[in-house]
Amino acid sequence: MAEYIAKIGTREVTHNNSLAKNKLKKALELFDFAGELSQTMSLERMNKKKEIQKLLNSV
C-alpha cells in the first residue's frame, strides 16, 4: 500500500505539489507503521523511505 501511494505522489509532483507532498508523507507514515508492526529492520523499507524523503525534500 505504501509503495502504491508513493507512486501516486511521485506522479503528482509535476501536476500538484501539495497533493504530491501529502501522498509522499502518507507513504512514509505507512512504512513507519509497517516497521513498528513487524518490529524488524528492513533494508528495502529503509531504502524506499530514503527515496521518498529525497523526493519530498525536492518538492
Predicted confidence at residue 45, as pLDDT, reads 93
Residue 17 has which C-alpha cell? 505539489
Q: What is the extent of the structural domain holding 25?
A: 2-58
Q: What is the pLDDT of residue 50?
A: 95
pLDDT of the residue at 48:
93
Q: Which residue has the cell 518538492?
A: 59
Number of domains in the chain: 1
Task: State which residues of the chain have pLDDT below 50.
Answer: none
